[in-house]
Structure 1
Amino acid sequence: MNERISIEEIIRLYKIDYSFLDQLIDSELLHPETENSLRYIIYEELPHLERFANWHYDLEVNLPGIEIIHKLLNQMEELRNENRKLLQNVTRFETWEDADF
């Protein structure tokens, strides 16, 4: 079972509005687990929650803005990973070309 924290505890610790957290869940930016009618967020999603809360409360970014920024950052990460793979393939090809047979 994943480590997790209840929604109520998140609201208390992070001092965020329940409605904001609910909007993040409705937008599928966070994916709660439910057990015994209590909702939990897994620890792995807490960095996302912190980032979203910072954007919202510190930078006054609204939910559609958060969704767009999150999507763009994910796309950038995917492109970085693809770039890394391509560079590895080029390096392997160059190494293979230089090999004496």
Structure 2
Amino acid sequence: MNERISIEEIIRLYKIDYTFLDQLIDSELLHPETENSIRYIVYEELSHLERFANWHYDLDVNLPGIEIIHKLLNQLEELKNENRKLLQNVSKFENWEDVDF
């Protein structure tokens, strides 16, 4: 079982509004687990929660803005990974100047 923390504990520790946390869950930016009517967030998602809370409370970014920024950062990471793979493939060629593109 993944390590997790209850939503009530998150609200207490991080001083986050319950409605903001619910909005993150409703927009599927966070994926809670439920056990015995208690909702939990797995530790792996806490870094996302902290980032979203910083954007919202410190930078005054609304939920649609958070969704867009999160999506763009994910796309950027995918592009970086794809670029890395392409560079690895290119480096496999000894005489890559002779390859027809």
Q: State the TM-score bracket (shorter-chain normalisation).
A: over 0.9
The 4+ residue runs of structure 1 with deviation greater than 3 A are: none
1:17 match: 17
In structure 2, the residue matched to 1:41 is 41
- Name the % identity: 89
Alignment root-mean-square deviation, CA: 1.0
User: Shift of the alpha carbon at 1:59?
Assistant: 0.1
> Residue 73 of structure 1 aligns with which residue?
73
The count of residues paired between Structure 1 and Structure 2 equals 96
Structure 1, unmatched stretches of 5+, are none
TM-score by length of 2: 0.93
CA deviations 1:27-61 (Å, max 9, x no partner) are 00000000000000000000000000000000000
1:93 positional shift: 1.7
TM-score of the superposed pair, with normalisation by structure 1: 0.93
Once residues 92 and 3 of structure 2 are traced to their aligned partners in structure 1, the CA distance between those partners, rounded to angstroms, is 40
Residue identity matched to 2:87: L
Deviation at 1:75, TM superposition (A): 0.1
5+ residue gaps, structure 2: 97-101
Report the CA distance between 1:13 and its aligned residue.
0.3
State how far apart, in whole Å, the 1-side matches of 2:74 and 2:89 are: 23
**Secondary structure in 1 matching 2:92:** helix
Give per-residue Cα distances to partners, 1:10-30, cap 9 Å, x unaligned: 000000000000000000000
How many Å separate the matches in 2 of 1:36 and 1:55? 32
